Structures are given as structure tokens and as C-alpha cells.
A and B are shown apart, each in its own frame.
Chain A
Amino acid sequence: MGSSNTAGGGVREESAMEDGGADGGAYQPEMPAFGAFSEGEKVLAYHGPCLYEAKVQKTEIRKDEWKYFVHYLGWSKSWDEWVVADRLLKFTEENGSKQKFLAKNQNVDKSSKSGRSTQSKPRSSNDAKVDKEDIRNQAPRGKKRKGQTGTEEKSMRSVEKLAMLQFPPTLKKQLVDDWEFVTQLGKLVKLPRSPNVDDILKKYLEYRTKKDGMIVESVAEILKGIRCYFDKALPLMLLYKKERQQYQEAVHDNISPSSIYGAEHLLRLFVKLPELLSYVNMEEDALGKLQQKLLDLLKFLQKNQNLFFLSTYNGSKNMDKSDD
């Protein structure tokens, strides 16, 4: 009992129901009579990577799912929003330490910056966007009620499959460090990178070819596809706001981003792959095979992590700007 609460990304529906429906107790997957959280209840709510104290003000069933209208305590009403149960945790001591843990991780680098509360609320609209993004990314992740059907369901399903693309933990950390360097410390990857994305993909093909004793056609095709995605997606969805200016300067017409950027940005593409691939509407077993191959590529990146990835970012956005 209760131990299930410590798991991963927020309260899973099941455990939440157990806690919340203590009176009735009956868990009905189709349509619970009560949401996991009740009106007026004090909760912890994810906003971006951190947890904040919040109060549930309204609850409602929309599209067969309980939605909660939360107000973040101590924050302007303009932050009030509707969220799903995945974003909320019960206001317990255990979850409180989780909140502190996350906040501490967040603020390693900025706690000294100002006299403001250490649990800084995302300030820029950019950060707020993180959130919408999250909802979109997380919605399909196996947390839907079983009985639910809908028009979105089909395209969701393939996303869901690929969302299970498990990042090796060290690459996950690589992405968090990447986030921290760029968005928190204002550091950038110095361009052009060597090896660049083209080099890395070529190395991988060589590695596979050697291992399999031949060029595996499907792998070659996937690598072409990744390169194509990378070039297109880089300016559209793989850059943090602070990197845009650098992009303008580094990438002129006719140069493909894959010859300038390296593993740091390639790894971000993997975060976006499920979304991109959902447009292909691939058959399930083809998708499964693809997933294995992508995972193999990820493992290759991991194996060569020291070789491919920068350990620190040096290029700063503005030369004259020191970071406090």
C-alpha cells in the first residue's frame, strides 16, 4: 500500500483511485463516480518539471476523463488551468519530499540568482509551453481508460507504441543536462560540431554493416529517413529559443543542418520521433521492428557517448554576458 505512489510520473490512475475513493472503494474503469481529487482539495501539481502546491477548484468529466481546474497557491490566477490526474499528486508528506527533491534539482544552478522563492515558477511563455507540450506528449502514454474509444484513438495508438521507446538512462540525463546548459545557463553548443550528424549516422551504418556482414537495406533506409527528419525538424522543433539566433548565423542556404549540428541535437530528434512517425501511420509490426532498430541506434549513441557528445557547452549566447 502506498508504495505505488513513489513510482514515476505522477499518480497513476489506479493508485490515485484507491486513495481517493476510500469511501466507496469501487474502482470503475469506465466512468468513476468521483475523480481522484475532489473540489477544494489541496494537491501538488506538476508544472513543467517541478511540483507546486495547488488547490483543485473544479472537477469535470470531459471526454471520459476527469479534469481538474487548479489554482497554484501563491501564483497569479492567470496560471490557473485544467489538468488531468497525471499532473496531480495527493498532498502527502511523501509527495512533499518529492516536491522538494525536484525543486532542488531544478535550482542547483539558479538558486543563488535572486532573492526570490527557490521554487521559481516558470516565467517565460516558453516555459509555460513546456507544459502544454507535456500534456500532449503524455496523454497517450497508456494512462487512458480502457473503454475509451474515439477518433483520435488510432493515431494515438502508434504514438503510444513509440512513446515506449526507452531512452537509456544516461542518454536521458544527457538530455536533461542539455536542457540545463541551454535554457538555464545560457550556454550553447559550439558549431560546427565534429562529428556531425552525418558522420554519426555513417559510423552507425558502418558498424551495422560490419556486424551483419552486409548492408541491411531497411537500416539504410531508416538512416536516410532520420537524416531527412533531422534537416527538416531542426529549425522547426529541435531548437530551444535561445539557440535560434545561432542557427541563423550558422546555417545558410544550401547547408544541411545535419552537417553542422551533432549528437546533442540528434538526440532531441529522438524525443520528437514518435510525433513525427505518427504521420506515417505505420503498421503495428513494422513499427515494432522500427522501434527495435531505433533503440539499437540509441544504444550506439550511448556506447559512444564520450566520443559523440560534448561534456560541457562553451559557446555562450552573447559574448559579453556573464551568467551571474
Chain B
Amino acid sequence: METGGEEEQDGLSGHSPGQAPPSSASSLPKEHPQVELELRILEALEIYHPAKLQGLHRHFVLYGLMEYMRKSFEKQFTADEILQLLDRFFNLEMLKPDEEEVENINHEEDFSLPQSFFIKEES
């Protein structure tokens, strides 16, 4: 079960400078079969589209994937571990950022402070 709160369960991550991960997926935790990890990450991609990994939102998509995997295996995954897993299925370099995103983000507008900020809270 989750311990709740915002504490990370990093104790197990085995990620220390001493053991830099080799290029294969072998640095991934052994306690879970590779196939299970792969299954989960593919599942997660239904929520977080891989194309988004190439754009502006890359880091938050990665964060989302890390959270998904953390929840599934009750251990912390690093961004690198996630990318290693994905690398088996995608050539991430080749992914194009999705067009909708580019469109949404590319028009220029002036900043404006929402009205709610001007309302002083009572007391």
C-alpha cells in the first residue's frame, strides 16, 4: 500500500553515481520481470502520447509516466529508466511534436493577471 503523503519511495531506486547505467535496459530493477515493465509502460502511453515527449511538455509527460510506473510498481523510476523502456518501442528522436500542440502554443498574447488576483481576501 501507498504510505500516502508526498514522500517519495526512493529508497529502492538503486540509482547512485557509482553505478552509471549501461546503455541496455539492464539497469532496470530486477525484481520485476522486463515484460511486466514493458506492459505497464505501454499502458501508460494510452494516457501520455509519446509524441508529446518531443515537445514543450516533454518533462511533464515524463513526470506523468514516472508517476504511473511508481504507482504500478510502488517504487520510484528515474526519467532515464523510463526513456530506456520506451526506447525499446520507439525511436524517440524521430517522433514529431504533435501539430495541435504547436498550434496551441505558438500564438503570442500579452500577459494579463486574472481578476481573481485583484480581489483582496477579507480579514
Residues of A participating in the B interface, judged by any CB pair closer than 8 Å: 6-9, 46, 48-49, 102, 105, 126, 129-130, 133-134, 137-138, 141, 167, 169, 172, 175-176, 178-179, 212, 214, 216-218, 220-222, 224-225, 228-229, 232, 235-241, 268, 271-272, 276-277, 279-283, 285-286, 289-290, 292-293, 296
Contact yes or no, B114 A271, CB < 8 A: yes
Closest to B109 in A: A237
Query: In the complex where A217-B66, A240-B111, A280-B48 touch, is A169 in contact with B60 (Cβ < 8 A)?
Result: no
* Residue from A175, A221, A271 having most chain B Cβ neighbours under 10 A: A221
Q: In the assembled complex, how far is the CB of residue B93 from the closest CB belonging to chain A, in whole angstroms? A: 17
Contact yes or no, B64 A283, CB < 8 A: yes
Query: In the complex where A49-B118, A221-B66, A280-B64 touch, is A239 in contact with B110 (Cβ < 8 A)?
Result: yes
Q: Which of B52, B67, B76 contacts A286 (CB 8 A)?
A: B67
Cα-based distance from A271 to B112 in the complex (angstroms): 9
B91 within 8 A of A: no
**Given the complex, which residues of B lie within 8 Å of A126, measured CB to CB?**
110, 112
Closest to B100 in A: A279
Query: In the complex where A228-B59, A236-B106, A279-B101 touch, is A217 in contact with B115 (Cβ < 8 A)?
Result: no
B61 within 8 A of A: yes
Closest to A223 in B: B59
Contact yes or no, B8 A236, CB < 8 A: no
Contact yes or no, B62 A285, CB < 8 A: no
Sample of 17 further A-B pairs with CB below 8 A, known A7-B122, A133-B114, A225-B63 = A8-B116, A8-B121, A102-B118, A129-B110, A133-B112, A175-B113, A175-B117, A176-B113, A217-B79, A218-B67, A221-B59, A221-B60, A271-B111, A272-B111, A280-B48, A280-B52, A282-B64
Q: Which of A137, A167, A212, A228 contacts B8 (CB 8 A)?
A: A212
Contact yes or no, A221 B10, CB < 8 A: no
Contact yes or no, A222 B111, CB < 8 A: no
B58 within 8 A of A: yes
Q: Which of B8, B13, B58, B78 contacts A225 (CB 8 A)?
A: B58
Query: In the complex where A6-B122, A222-B60, A225-B60 touch, is A285 in contact with B71 (Cβ < 8 A)?
Result: yes
Q: In the assembled complex, how far is the CB of residue A106 from the closest CB belonging to chain B, in whole angstroms? A: 8
Query: In the complex where A217-B77, A281-B47 touch, is A236 in contact with B109 (Cβ < 8 A)?
Result: yes
Query: In the complex where A280-B57, A280-B64, A285-B71 touch, is A218 in contact with B118 (Cβ < 8 A)?
Result: no
B6 within 8 A of A: yes
Contact yes or no, B76 A232, CB < 8 A: no
**Given the complex, which residues of A lie within 8 Å of B113, measured CB to CB?**
130, 175-176, 178-179, 271
Query: In the complex where A217-B76, A290-B63 touch, is A239 in contact with B112 (Cβ < 8 A)?
Result: no
Contact yes or no, B115 A9, CB < 8 A: yes
Q: In the assembled complex, how far is the CB of residue A280 from the closest CB belonging to chain B, in whole angstroms? A: 5
The binding surface of chain A is classed by DSSP as helix
B108 within 8 A of A: yes
Closest to A126 in B: B110
Q: Scan B51-94; emit 1 where CB is below 8 A from any A CB, else 0.
A: 01000111111111011101100001111000000000000000
Q: Which of B15, B48, B58, B64 contacts A228 (CB 8 A)?
A: B58
Closest to B121 in A: A169
Closest to A281 in B: B47
Query: In the complex where A212-B8, A228-B56 touch, is A283 in contact with B67 (Cβ < 8 A)?
Result: yes
Query: In the complex where A133-B112, A134-B114 touch, is A280 in contact with B106 (Cβ < 8 A)?
Result: no
Q: In the assembled complex, how far is the CB of residue A142 from the closest CB belonging to chain B, in whole angstroms? A: 12
Contact yes or no, B60 A172, CB < 8 A: no
**Given the complex, which residues of B lie within 8 Å of A283, measured CB to CB?**
47, 64, 67-68
**Given the complex, which residues of A lie within 8 Å of B15, measured CB to CB?**
217
Which 10 pairs across A and B sit closest by C-beta, in order of nearness? A225-B59, A49-B118, A286-B67, A130-B112, A224-B59, A137-B114, A134-B115, A133-B112, A225-B60, A241-B110
